[in-house]
Chains A and B, each alone.
Chain A
């Protein structure tokens, strides 16, 4: 944008700076009031696992990765359900 935009006067610059400050607080406050829910994440996870299962990619167990390259797949990957022992899954911040 630089170079093609007109100069701003100080008053408008000050207003825009205040709007940025407002926006930052609104964004952080909104995240506190409206976090992504566990149910919403669980639905995304369910669909991801379903997709991976259909495509035969991504292993559920460590150390047995076959990657995304289906040509290298000997057999469909084992998939486990989203709610496992993952400690991070339950976190919300």
Chain B
């Protein structure tokens, strides 16, 4: 059984409040940062923290009823909740939105692991090349690459976000990767 699903099932089986809170806390700690990054890359307004908090709450509230059987399905469900919270907020009119994480934020995340996992010169070069690949393409390509490779969303979810089919999303990601490759080569 997938590790997140194992926690979800333990939560659902448990009938004791304190233990349920412990399990949901463990689960939210594992998935929270991914959702935080997802929300930050789609919304930069003043309500960002509220969106994040509401997302965590909605996930916790729905845990007892989650029927999926894989971590992939679970994360898809969680990202779907986050996406709806962002869309709800944007509908309220607060369209203070940027579509991307900035380079600085991403590099800080990369460098934060240096003490336990130092980057070799080759790895650093590789990661810089990747950053450049993502940076050289403009929206919507940036969004497609970010969604697929940083957020790890599946093609169906990316397609839903952009109003296209899963196959359309796959083709878009592939086209954007080719474009990035081409621009890097120029």
Contact = CB atoms under 8 A, between A and B. Distances in A.
Given A44-B28, A89-B25, A34 B36 contact: yes
B22 A88 contact: yes
Contacts of A35: 29, 32-33
Q: How large is the interface on B (under 10, 10 to 19, 20 to 34, 35 or more residues)?
A: 35 or more
B155 A1 contact: yes
A16 interface: yes
Contacts, number: 167
Interface stretch (B2-10, B66-74, B78-86, B105-113): B105-113
B99 interface: no
Contacts of A29: 108-113
A1 B28 contact: no
Pick the most buried of B21, B57, B61, B106: most chain A CB atoms within 10 A of its CB: B21
A93 B177 contact: no
A20 B149 contact: yes
Residues of A contacting B: mostly? helix
Does more than half of chain B's interface fall in helix, strand or loop, or is it mixed? helix
Most-contacted residue by chain A among B25, B52, B145 (CB, 10 A): B25
Contacts of B155: 1
Given A4-B167, A49-B17, A59-B17, A40 B52 contact: yes
B112 A32 contact: yes
Contacts of B129: 18
Interface in B135-182: 145, 148-150, 152, 155, 166-167, 170-171, 174, 177-178, 180-181
Nearest 7 A/B pairs, CB to CB: A29-B109, A65-B15, A36-B32, A31-B33, A22-B130, A19-B149, A29-B112
Interface of A: 1, 4-6, 8, 11-12, 15-16, 18-23, 25-36, 40-41, 43-45, 47-49, 51-52, 58-62, 65-68, 77, 79-80, 82, 84, 86, 88-89, 91-93
